[in-house]
Amino acid sequence: MPRYAFTIEFDGRPYVGWQRQHSDPSVQAALERAIRTITGEEVTVHAAGRTDAGVHALAMRAHADIAMALPAFRMMEALNAKLRPDPVAVIGCALVPEDWHARFSCTERRYIYRIINRRAPLTFERGLIWQVKPPLDEDAMQAAADMLLGRHDFTTFRSAHCQSASPVKTLDRLDVERNGDAISIRAQARSFLHHQVRSMVGCLKMVGEGKWRVEDMKAALDAADRHALGFNAPPDGLYFVGASYPGEQTIAP
């Protein structure tokens, strides 16, 4: 049966997240409904990651096995026609081998968390970026971010509802970059715990405001205790921006 790999962009605001729910709207359900409308088939769309309610994606990777054999471009065009007016778009589609899996073949996942650091209210990007009004020290935030790099027990930065078998993860990148009022925090790892990026960003914000010292970030990590968490950032500014697979060229945003 043909296996289609998708690259998907979506605005997460109307959805409870990626994963299909019984009654609430999800990105997965929107895609599966579009496929059913085109083919009449009940399929499951598997993704590289499960985003939370309100979290966005610029390039989520996913796949589905669909018996109706269409050229990849035609499948993409048909899906986009049926997804309207949902804020979901298939921006890439390819036929892949049967052993290619969006989740289990993935070797790296990348996120960006976007902050706007200003007092003036948001206009165009309300709900698409986190507004922080007090001035943030991005150099202190980077110094604190460096404390989290490498292989650690990230229990402090893990949701109580996380289903991962282990809290131990290896964080390969956590960069804080400022461009005017805009601050971008880029995170990269093979895999992340539920809420890990949002929890790390929330604590970085506390360091940037001067409410935490750089050393407090290390203490929170070493505590391996959710009660040591300073703050969980809202979903508004979080974007899944890329996933890497063997044999594919990685294009980092």
Instruction: Return the axis-axis angle of helices 196-209 and 138-146, rounded to nearest 10°.
Output: 130
From the number of C-beta atoms within 10 Å of its C-beta (0-12, 13-18, 19+), residue 189 rates as buried
**Catalytic residue, candidates 52, 99, 175, 216:** 52
Instruction: List the Cα angle 13/18/21 in 5-degree steps.
Output: 100
Q: Is residue 236 annotated as a catalytic residue, yes or no? A: no
Record the tokens describing residue 154, joined without a space. 């990230």
Distance (Å, rounded) from C-alpha 88 to C-alpha 82?
A: 10
DSSP 134-201: S---HHHHHHHHHTT-EEEE-GGGS-TT---S-SEEEEEEEEEEEETTEEEEEEEES---TTHHHHHH
Which positions are catalytic?
52
